Structure 1
């Protein structure tokens, strides 16, 4: 009886440890970038943009809009778009997956490419970045939410 109890307790402990093990492919559960957790969707007409780049103001007559946080397989994605004169003049990634070294490596290349693609397309209809499809899709959803909130293209 004592052996059975010891075996059962060891098995339960092993199973608990196995299920609580976090692999690198599970993605981030929360952003590890300070200052972006509270970034919420909203329109800030012609004023300073909230969040990490606070202190810099948008050009007069421009609208700054934070997109919604898009939860992806690898972590949250959120963008801020600046619209001036009926054109998208800037896009800033507020949150991207950064749960491990590979996420940071992929997104260090993908985020500038996504920004350039948006500025060329002037919409959320842009090509995904090869190797960063999940981030591209989250970027697109957050951007579209921001554009919708700003009534851009309507």
Structure 2
């Protein structure tokens, strides 16, 4: 009977702990309001996804000021497909900023190429840099769509 009591107490403690957790939310980037999606054209090109970028070329995103520095990217597209993303500016005021950027930015770029959009997950431990990257990428894609 003793193992059953211990198991019940352990499971109860686990349930209470899980219920106490709050969902993860990204902190707001300092001085930047969220962007609303750009309206898509009423007649996208044949085979194109509505709202998807249709341009070809390199499009520079807005520089986004975060709590730790500015993040800016440029996206290269070919017939609406993101072929590369280059980081133009990243937080680098100290060694910790450079360390975070060195692991977060390649992951964000890989996610963006895989998703073919700016609708990607933030990198854990790099919330501000991630949000700046996402917003700058979205502005580049908005320019490609225009």
TM-score, length of structure 1 as denominator length: 0.58
- Tell me the distance in 1 between the aligned counterparts of 2:102 and 2:78: 26
- Tell me the distance in 2 between the aligned counterparts of 1:134 and 1:110: 11
1:65-111 C-alpha deviation (Å, 9 max, x unpaired):
11010000100000000000221000011000000000001110111
Confirm or deny that 1:150 pairs with 2:144: yes
Question: For structure 1, which runs of at least 5 residues remain unmatched after alignment?
Answer: 1-60
Q: 2:106 aligns with which of 105, 112, 125?
A: 112
2:72 alignment partner, SS class: strand
- Tell me the distance in 2 between the aligned counterparts of 1:109 and 1:65: 24
1:89-143 C-alpha deviation (Å, 9 max, x unpaired):
0001100000000000111011100100000110010010111110000001100
Q: Following superposition, which runs of at least 4 residues in structure 1 exceed 3 angstroms of deviation? A: none
CA RMSD of aligned residues (A): 1.3
2:136 alignment partner, SS class: helix
Q: Please state how far the C-alpha of 1:62 moved relative to its aligned partner.
A: 3.5
1:116 alignment partner, SS class: helix
- Tell me the distance in 1 between the aligned counterparts of 2:115 and 2:81: 10
- Tell me the distance in 1 between the aligned counterparts of 2:70 and 2:80: 28
Confirm or deny that 1:73 pairs with 2:77: no
Matches within 5 A, 1:19-30: none
Confirm or deny that 1:103 pairs with 2:114: no
Question: For structure 2, which runs of at least 5 residues remain unmatched after alignment?
Answer: 1-54
Matches within 5 A, 1:1-154: 62-151=56-145
